[in-house]
């Protein structure tokens, strides 16, 4: 299939470029405004097929790694297909056109309406899958979307958008329902888009999220990841270790949901560490740990030569022994409480490095993961490997996170899974704890406005005694 490219709209400054895209987006929305649910779902399916088709899934995965230098092809193929398939499953089960809910008892009828033109800011870590994911959500609500790529992922995102447009053309839908900012993409052009659209949805750098929220346009941003997990004394250690390995190595830890630290309860520390080594973890000694620290952070920032790289490349660049290069990921032990700016291993590492803490008991482990999240990652998520559901409930009750995953590979479960009830997404809202406007996985509901038809019902007015009686009885009038 040939790639359908947008027209050349690069003449003029950022505002003029964006104005041209916006005009075309609104024309496309007008042409799509009367689409019924079946037609909308057909368009959403077309977008899904644009990246799910095996040849394109592989091509875009390879291009993404070549384009950005981040992650690995095999994982990105899985991401392109699994996330898209799961998202399509979710979207085919919901209604977004016309009446979407009726409540006769309350006299309410709810109608779904588009939010308008969506500006979708996408990250370099997912330059293909995230734009498709957001475009599917947008079109499900009969909106148009303009994608703002990361400059590092521009070639991949541009080709991805071209495939989406080609599929829309194939079914006779307006191609301009999906557009992409033209090269060269920079902060000025992305800022102009943020100020022009009706809704901004941002996945990626926290700098972009802050700019989106200050743009004057309604904005949905997501928070930073730095997922800590706990292994308690009741866990199945080999199962926990394998799930942590699978999650940690997926796409070389580019996911915000990748485990960055594990806190193990003291009585089972040796057993859990043995399981982690058994599944492919390499435990760095003190000298090797220092080599990792010096190499991974350069001038206080993560070294792009090491983030999201294969284990063999990481080991060679750091100067780890041949034994380490044959392993899947690298573990560094840190003292309990070693959290904050002076302890970089407590931060998000975007690499195959897993920080390990030893806690004497569960309350101390809970405090440790809380301290980690208070430093970086508040609101995002935490995981626990346990057979003690009271431990899981305690984390959910006491920690300021949106998601608590139990006995799951975090990267595969946090953004939706076929074995949990979370919505499939590539954008995880982290609540006001992280300065976000949503505290759930980004989904189709964020891409529709709702009109309420309100009819009168029999009066539903309790007496004063009903409402104040208990208060009066306890405190008087």
**Residues with active-site annotation:** 256
Widest distance between CA atoms in the chain: 79
Which candidate, 143, 152, 225, places its Cα nearest to that of 184? Answer: 152
- Tell the burial category of 98 from Cβ atoms under 10 Å away from its Cβ (0-12, 13-18, 19+): exposed
Residue 15, number of CB atoms within 10 A of its CB: 15
Q: Answer for the pair 454, 110: CB distance below 8 angstroms, yes or no.
A: no
202: DSSP letter? E
Q: What whole-number distance in Å separates Cα of residue 360 and Cα of residue 462?
A: 53
Bridge partner list, 329: 281
Q: Answer for the pair 208, 226: CB distance below 8 angstroms, yes or no.
A: no
Which candidate, 144, 146, 218, places its Cα nearest to that of 189? Answer: 146
Query: Cβ neighbours of residue 403 under 8 Å, at least 6 residues apart?
Result: 380, 381, 382, 414, 422, 428
Angstrom distances, CA of residue 69 to CA of 36, 44, 64, 137: 42, 30, 8, 28
- Segment (H or E) for 350: none
Which candidate, 360, 423, 470, 386, places its Cα nearest to that of 140? Answer: 423
CA 312 to chain centre: 27
Helical H segments across 250-361, by residue range = 269-278, 286-296, 311-318, 322-325
Bridge partner list, 383: 229, 405
Q: What whole-number distance in Å separates Cα of residue 285 and Cα of residue 303?
A: 21
For residue 154, the SS3 value is helix
Q: What whole-number distance in Å separates Cα of residue 258 and Cα of residue 466?
A: 51
Angstrom distances, CA of residue 174 to CA of 77, 88, 129, 137, 263: 28, 20, 21, 16, 51
Which candidate, 173, 171, 207, places its Cα nearest to that of 190? Answer: 207
List, edge to edge, every strand of the sheet that includes 329-333: 281-283, 329-333, 353-359, 259-265, 227-231, 379-385, 401-406
Q: What whole-number distance in Å separates Cα of residue 188 and Cα of residue 121?
A: 13
Helices (H) and strands (E) in the chain, counts: 17, 17
Angstrom distances, CA of residue 53 to CA of 77, 81, 130, 163, 377: 10, 8, 16, 10, 34
């Amino acid at each position: 299939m040939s790639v359908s490219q947008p027209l050349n709209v690069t003449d003029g400054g950022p505002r003029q470029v964006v104005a041209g895209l916006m005009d075309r987006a609104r024309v496309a929305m007008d042409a799509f405004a009367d689409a019924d649910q079946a037609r909308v779902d057909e368009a959403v399916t077309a977008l899904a097929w644009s990246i799910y088709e095996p040849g394109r899934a592989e091509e875009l995965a390879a291009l993404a790694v070549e384009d950005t230098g981040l992650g690995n092809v095999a994982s990105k193929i899985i991401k392109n297909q699994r996330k898209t398939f799961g998202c399509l499953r979710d979207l085919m089960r919901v209604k977004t056109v016309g009446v979407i809910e009726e409540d006769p008892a309350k006299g309410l009828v709810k109608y779904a309406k588009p939010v308008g033109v969506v500006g979708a800011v996408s990250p370099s870590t997912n330059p293909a899958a995230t734009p498709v994911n957001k475009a599917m959500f947008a079109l499900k609500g009969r909106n148009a979307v303009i994608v703002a790529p990361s400059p590092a992922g521009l070639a991949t995102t541009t080709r991805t958008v071209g495939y989406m447009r080609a599929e829309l053309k194939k079914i006779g839908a307006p191609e301009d329902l999906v557009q992409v900012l033209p090269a060269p993409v920079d902060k000025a052009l992305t800022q102009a888009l943020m100020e022009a659209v009706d809704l901004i949805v941002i996945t990626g750098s926290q700098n972009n999220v802050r700019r989106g929220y200050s743009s004057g346009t309604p904005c949905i941003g997501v928070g930073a990841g730095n997922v800590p997990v706990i292994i308690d004394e009741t866990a199945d250690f080999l199962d926990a270790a394998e799930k942590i390995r699978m999650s940690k190595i997926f796409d070389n830890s580019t996911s915000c949901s990748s485990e960055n630290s594990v806190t193990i309860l003291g009585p089972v520390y040796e057993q859990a560490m043995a399981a982690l080594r058994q599944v492919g973890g390499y435990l760095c000694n003190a000298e090797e740990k220092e080599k990792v620290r010096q190499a991974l952070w350069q001038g206080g920032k993560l070294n792009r030569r090491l983030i999201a790289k294969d284990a063999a490349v990481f080991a060679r660049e750091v100067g780890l022994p041949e034994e380490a290069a044959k392993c899947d990921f690298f573990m560094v032990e840190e003292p309990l409480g070693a959290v904050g700016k002076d302890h970089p291993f407590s931060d998000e590492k975007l690499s195959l490095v897993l920080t390990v803490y030893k806690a004497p008991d569960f309350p101390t482990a809970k405090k440790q993961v809380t301290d980690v999240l208070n430093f970086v990652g508040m609101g995002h998520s935490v995981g626990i490997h346990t057979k003690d559901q009271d431990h899981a409930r305690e984390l959910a009750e006491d920690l300021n996170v949106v998601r608590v995953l139990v006995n799951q590979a975090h990267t595969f479960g946090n953004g939706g899974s076929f074995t949990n009830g979370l919505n499939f997404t590539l954008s995880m809202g982290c609540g006001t704890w992280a300065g976000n406007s949503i505290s759930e996985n980004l989904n189709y509901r964020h891409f529709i406005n709702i009109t309420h038809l309100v009819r009168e019902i029999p009066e539903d007015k309790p007496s004063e005694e009903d409402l104040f009686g208990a208060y009066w009885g306890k405190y008087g009038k």
